């Protein structure tokens, strides 16, 4: 007979799995809906902005990575993206019992961002980027890129929190 603690742990594991899948699905959906808004527009000049002096809307069809890296490598970057997303998802589900809520969110954002841009790469031959900082030079990006960046930042934060907690346990 399963103990109450085992039941609670399995519910927590199931909740993290469901949360991961919901975040991935919703983030990919938001990413694709925002990109679809620009489907009939030509890339180039500023379409709107600046908003609050921070961002412009500038449509770019990106066949490479950030900062023009790997230009015209759309298919290869799409394959690489899917491989990384699969590896992260496998790692997440293999370690789900030890994974924190913050790490669950982080992994979901990274996977969703990778999938969102991979969809563009395979369906259109380029990634639709449209958010541009107006106050400093930075590559034009999209909702998928925000997911990858924020997911990575949350993952680093979660690791720092865990390291600090481990360090504090040693002080006792």
As given in the structure block, the two tokens for residue 38 are 């620009």
Cα separation, 60 vs 44, in Å, equals 6
**Selected catalytic residue, list 40, 137, 145, 171:** 145
As given in the structure block, the two tokens for residue 141 are 């990006």
Instruction: Establish whether 56 is a catalytic residue.
Output: no
Instruction: Name the H helices within the chain.
Output: 4-36, 74-94, 101-124, 143-170
Instruction: Establish whether 145 is a catalytic residue.
Output: yes
Cα separation, 58 vs 51, in Å, equals 12
- Please tell me whether residue 102 adopts helix, strand or coil conformation: helix
Alpha-carbon distances of 105 from 19, 92, 132, 155, rounded to whole Å? 8, 11, 25, 9
**Selected catalytic residue, list 31, 56, 129, 166:** 129
Cα separation, 63 vs 125, in Å, equals 7
Residues β-bridged to residue 100: none
Name the phi and psi angles at 55, rounded to 5. Answer: -135, 150
Active site amino acids: 129, 145
């Amino acid at each position: 007979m399963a103990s109450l603690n085992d039941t609670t742990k399995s519910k927590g594991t199931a909740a993290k799995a469901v949360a991961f899948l919901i975040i991935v699905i919703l983030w990919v959906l938001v990413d694709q809906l925002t990109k679809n808004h620009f489907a009939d527009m030509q890339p180039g000049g500023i379409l709107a902005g600046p908003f609050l002096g921070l961002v412009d809307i500038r449509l770019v069809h990106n066949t490479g990575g950030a900062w023009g890296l790997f230009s015209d490598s759309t298919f290869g970057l799409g394959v690489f993206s899917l491989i990384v997303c699969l590896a992260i998802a496998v790692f997440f589900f293999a370690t789900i019992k030890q994974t924190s809520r913050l790490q669950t969110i982080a992994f979901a954002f990274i996977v969703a961002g990778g999938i969102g841009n991979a969809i563009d790469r395979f369906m259109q031959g380029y990634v639709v980027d449209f958010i541009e900082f107006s106050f400093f030079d930075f590559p034009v990006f999209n909702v998928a890129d925000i997911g990858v960046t924020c997911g990575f930042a949350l993952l680093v934060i979660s690791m720092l929190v865990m390291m600090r907690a481990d360090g504090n346990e040693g002080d006792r």
